Amino acid sequence: MKKGMTMFCMLAAAAGILVFTATQAKADKKQTRMGSLPLSLDGFQANGTAPLNVLADGLVGGATWSHVYGPVGGSSLGTVLPNNQAPQAVGFSGAGCQLEYSQDQFSANGGRDTFNADVYSTTCQPFSQPGAAMKNGTFSIVSGTGLFQNLVGGGGTIQISARADGSVIMHLAGNLIAGGDSYRQF
């Protein structure tokens, strides 16, 4: 009887280890079903009526960046004072800065693959160059379609330089985070 009880305890302990191990393996598998991919976009817009064309590694087809909503101006951050204090200093006439929000869309492959991002930024407009602006901000992914349909997050930084003639240069850097089966693509 003692030998049988010892054998039962050993089998029960082994079964407990197997159940724990299988449960832990399932949890680990679910946790690893998430992937991250670095993202870097560079864009150029020739004038105020042209699209903001974007180059992105690994994406085929004309890609663009555009506003879905906004930009909406927020509160003014104030004025950057002019720099005319020393003869060797580069002349700067000052700038006015304010907070902004927009929801923007990256679109590739004829609109099949898109993601939308909330963009929060500070925009400064130099007084000596009406129509020009420098925008520095952050973006946060909110949704996607096609290749980007399983995005669950991501974000990074965005810089935009707009000139008075309507031309724009953009740089965006960050990451995309996908869940579900799409984690394999990352």
Say what the pTM is. Answer: 0.74
- Residue 20 has a pLDDT of 34
CA-closest candidate to residue 186, choices 56, 29, 60, 37: 37
CA-closest candidate to residue 158, choices 141, 179, 143: 141
Q: Where are the domains of the chain?
A: 1-32, 35-80+93-185
Mean pLDDT over the full length of the chain: 79
Burial class (CB in 10 A: 0-12, 13-18, 19+), 150: middle
User: What does the pLDDT average to over 131-135?
Assistant: 93
Burial class (CB in 10 A: 0-12, 13-18, 19+), 95: buried
The backbone torsions φ and ψ at residue 152, rounded to the nearest 5 degrees and listed phi first, read -115, 0
- Among 37-46, 83-92, 135-144, the range scoring the smallest mean pLDDT is 83-92
Banded model confidence at residue 13, pLDDT cuts 50, 70, 90: very low
- Residue 4 has a pLDDT of 47
- Residue 105 has a pLDDT of 97
More confident residue, 85 or 121: 121
Rounded distance between C-alpha atoms, residue 43 and residue 53, angstroms: 5
- Among 74-88, 89-103, 126-140, the range scoring the smallest mean pLDDT is 74-88
- Among 30-34, 47-51, 155-159, the range scoring the smallest mean pLDDT is 30-34
- Residue 131 has a pLDDT of 87
Please say if the pLDDT value at position 65 is more than 70: yes
